Amino acid sequence: MKKLLFVTMLLLSFNFLMAQTNWVVQKVDDKISVKFPAKPETIEQSGMFAATYESPEKIKYVVNTMDFANFGLDSATLAPMLETQEFSDQIVTGMKTKMEGFEFSDLVTSKWNGNTVYTLDATNKNEKKKVFVKMVFIGSKMYNMVFSFPDGASQDSKETFFNSLQLN
C-alpha cells in the first residue's frame, strides 16, 4: 500500500513539474520575464507594457509596467521612497480608487533579488472575485503581476505564475 501511495505521489509530482514547463515565457523588457499558461495578449503604449491571458475558467494573469521616470522620479529618488509607509499607502489608495467594491488586505513589503516587493490581495464579495497582486520595483519601474479568479475557480496556478518572475 505504501509503495502504491509513493508511486502515485511521484507520478503526480512529475505531472505537476511537466505542466509548469509548458508555460510560455513572456519577455516584459530587458530586465524581466514572466511565464503565462498560454501566449498572452500584449500591448505597448507610451513606454508602458501589458500582457494579459484569461483562461477558459476566467482566471486572469496580468503583467504590466509603470515607469516612474515619466513622473520625474528616477531610481535614486524612488528607492528611499519605497521604504516609507506614505508611499505604500499612496499605492494602495490608488488601487482602491480603481477597484471599487474590493476589500484589501494589508500590504506586505519584502525583497526579491535585492528589489522592493509589495504584495496584497483584495476580495469583491458582490462580484465573487479575488485578486492577488505582486508589485516589484526595479530602478524607476514598477512591474505589476495580477492573478484574479472567480469564486469556485482553482488558484493552484497562482504560485507558479508569481514564482515564474525572473531577471533577464
According to DSSP, the residues that pair with 62 across neighbouring strands are: 52, 146
- 87 C-beta neighbours (distance < 10 Å), count: 14
Enumerate helices (H) and strands (E) in the chain, giving the number of each.
4, 11
Residue 16 pLDDT greater than 50, yes or no:
no
Q: How far apart are CA 37 and CA 114, in angstroms?
A: 27
Q: How far apart are CA 153 and CA 52, in angstroms?
A: 18
- pTM above 0.75? yes
> C-alpha cell of 8?
502515485
Domains (ranges, CATH) in the chain? 24-167 (3.40.1000.10)
29-56 pLDDT per residue, tens: 999 999 999 999 999 988 889 999 999 9
Q: What is the 3-state secondary structure (H, E, C) of 30-75?
A: CCEEEEECCCCEEEEECCEEEEEEECCCCCEEEEEEEEHHHHCCCH
71-122 pLDDT per residue, tens: 999 999 999 999 999 999 999 999 999 999 999 999 999 999 999 999 999 9
